[in-house]
Amino acid sequence: MFNKLLILSASAGAGHIRAAQALEQATLALNAAKEVIHIDTLEYTNKVFRNLYSKAYIEMVNSAPEVLGWLYDHLDTPWKRERRRLAIDKLNTRPFVKFVKKYEPDAIICTHFLPAEILSWMKAKEKLHCPQGIVITDFDAHALWLCHNYEHYFVALEETSVHLNKLGIWPSKISVTGIPIDPVFSQHKDKQEMRIKYGLHPDKPTILISAGGFGVGPIELIMRALLQSKHPLQIIAICGKSKELKQQMDSFAASLPLNSPIVVKPIGYTKDMDEYMSASDILLGKPGGLTTSEALTKGLVFVIFNPIPGQEERNSDHLLENSVAIRCNNLPTLAYKLDRLLDDKERFRTMQNNARKLACPSAAYEIVKKMLSLK
């Protein structure tokens, strides 16, 4: 058991935070630490740097994804530019370094590359002596995740382990665990029961879509494209905290005829995503690392549309390669591709089984147990 376990994330996208929260829950469930805390590293940096890391990232995702994709590829040069990047990060993370030194944890798990890089430097300067575990929260390992001083890497796929090994990381210091997700997603919840609970038809094909990921305008275009499907569908549209989006989806749902074979159920911010996934057959949208890992555990088939260039493009490749997804590049063909998928029941069942095979529901527990062995 650890006396103090520190889990570090960064609020550049929600996935790193959710992975850290899953690890915190697993630690508590395993009684693996007397004290475990999770902090957002960016809360211990200056305001300008924090905005650059979090707000600028979200703005690029929404308004300039092609720029984000270019940056992703441009920076994916292993072991290059690390001194320049470290110099900038050190300058802006002094409060974070001070916090870590004062807290004196027994072990640290990082779900973002920023704290991992700073901790690596601290270990090199003998300012930190506890083991560091690095959890890569996408299917591929980008060069920004590479560190010289660490105890263990945790990755999603065997291919990622091979990739890190080719870049100089010893195989004995890599574990293929999957991406850590909230343990609640591993609980079986009956599909028909969940549909009835949320006012859905128990036997109608159900699509889950994270509407907030597309913005207000594009999501209505996606919905109108789905209306062209020849299959009766019910669509769960998760709108998150956007009141404008929720109102738009409510208006859209109300505008459909009473006898429409397509039903849209808008949902605002929710903590019951595991139950909405349990009620669904298909996840339509962008394949972020955490959402993808959660959906795989629920056996969902993916219809990928408009992934963010860079990490989501690479996640898409892995899902397609493992036959758990189809991809639609042109919105006018969305209903056509969906109908083809639903028409082929054997293919659909195979894709559901493939999803469950690729899932790693116990990743958070495996990571915590491995960290305990490194004490």
Closest CA to 53 of 94, 99, 88: 88
Q: What residues contact 127, with CB distance under 8 A and at least 6 apart?
A: 97, 101
Residue 66 burial (10 A CB sphere; 0-12, 13-18, 19+): exposed
Q: Any idea where the domains of the chain sit in the sequence?
A: 2-179+361-373, 187-358
Q: What residues contact 272, with CB distance under 8 A and at least 6 apart?
A: none
> Identical fold at 2-179+361-373 and 187-358?
yes
Per residue of the chain (375 residues), give pLDDT as tens: 898 999 999 987 788 999 999 999 999 999 999 999 999 999 998 877 787 776 666 666 667 677 777 777 877 888 787 777 777 777 778 889 999 999 999 999 999 999 999 999 999 888 888 999 999 999 999 999 999 999 999 999 999 999 999 999 999 999 999 999 999 999 999 999 999 999 999 999 999 998 765 555 588 888 899 999 999 999 999 988 888 888 988 999 999 888 889 999 999 888 899 999 999 999 998 888 899 999 999 999 999 988 888 888 999 999 999 999 999 989 999 999 999 999 999 999 999 999 999 999 999 999 999 999 987
Q: What is the dihedral of CA 128, 133, 134, 137, to 10 degrees?
A: -140
What's the pLDDT at 324?
97
Q: Are 229 and 262 in contact (CB under 8 A)?
A: yes
pTM: 0.90
- Whole-angstrom Cα Rg for the chain: 21
List the 233-240 sheet strands across, edge first: 262-268, 233-240, 206-210, 282-285, 301-305, 325-328
Place of tokens 């959890």: 135
Query: Which amino acid makes up residue 221?
Result: L
CA distances, 343 to each of 19, 42, 231 (Å):
36, 48, 9
Does domain 187-358 bear CATH number 3.40.50.2000? yes
CA distances, 85 to each of 151, 163, 332 (Å):
22, 22, 43
Closest CA to 222 of 286, 279, 267: 286
Q: What is the DSSP letter of 280?
A: -
CA 360 to chain centre: 13
What's the pLDDT at 9?
95
Distance, in Å, from the CA atom of 73 to the CA atom of 70, rounded to the nearest integer, reads 5
What's the pLDDT at 215?
54
Where is 134: in which H helix or E strand? Answer: strand 132-135
Q: What is the DSSP letter of 322?
A: T
- End-to-end CA distance of the chain: give it in Å, rounded: 9
Q: What topology is assigned to 2-179+361-373 in CATH?
A: Rossmann fold (3.40.50)
